[in-house]
Homo-oligomer: A and B are copies of this chain.
Amino acid sequence: MGISERKEREKAELRQLILEGAMEVFLEVGFENTSIRKIAERIEYSPGTIYVYFKDKDEILHELHHTAFDRLMEVMEKTAVHAEPIDQVYAIGENYITFALENPQLYELMFVLRAPMKAINPECEWEDGWRTYNYFKSVLIKAVEKGQLKLVDPEVLCVTFWAAVHGLVTLYLRERFHNLPQDQVEPLMRHSLRELVKQYQSPPNH
């Protein structure tokens, strides 16, 4: 029976079409203005159809958040070209900021908005987030083992660095750096990050 296989394929294709339309609308008009009706109109289906393929809007946003993580992971893995872990730490931080500033909507979906998290089973893990977290932590551990970072608990290091860059980009994206001269904000953010990592670097031993 090749028919049921074709049907499954078609279902998967329509599901994908919905996600693509959703991503287009989302990137164009932002989270607050993305509606099911707009997505439906974009792909020329009725609003009701979308609910055959997705439980609710949160599930759609969770899927978009998932593909966003794939992109961030790519950006992070590119830093593996650096031979020294400490150089990779700097590179990950810089790329993280760049990613957030270049993809503000995606960034908010991944780390700010509540919606995509609501689609996650409370028991279950936040796999997407954890993948990137653990990648970064593994680099930090290597840097500590090589004596390039001070002997601080890697969990603490990881949370601190992550929170710092997350804080920088979200304060910026949500316009809380409004009073700083706008053309100096991005350099300031990047300077802040470099200085931060520097403070945690091991001092040259005598």
Interface residues of A (CB under 8 A from B): 32, 111-114, 117, 120, 125-126, 129-130, 133, 150, 152, 155-156, 159-160, 162-168, 170-171, 174-179, 188-189, 191-192, 195-196, 199-200
Contacts and interface: CB of A to CB of B under 8 A. Distances in A.
A155 B122 CA distance: 40
B200 A156 contact: no
Given A159-B168, A167-B170, 14 more contacts: A111-B174, A113-B174, A117-B174, A126-B175, A126-B176, A126-B178, A126-B179, A129-B176, A129-B178, A156-B191, A159-B189, A160-B192, A163-B164, A164-B196
Contact of A160 (B177, B178, B195): B195
Q: How many copies does the complex hold?
A: 2
17 contacts: A114-B175, A117-B175, A117-B178, A125-B179, A126-B176, A126-B178, A129-B178, A155-B188, A156-B191, A156-B195, A159-B192, A160-B164, A160-B195, A162-B171, A163-B163, A163-B167, A199-B200
Contacts of A177: 159
A113 B175 CA distance: 10
A177 B130 CA distance: 9
Contacts of A176: 111, 117, 126, 129
A18 B176 CA distance: 27
A166 B171 CA distance: 8
A65 to B, nearest CB: 11
Nearest to A155: B188
A171 B126 contact: no
Contacts of A175: 114, 117, 126
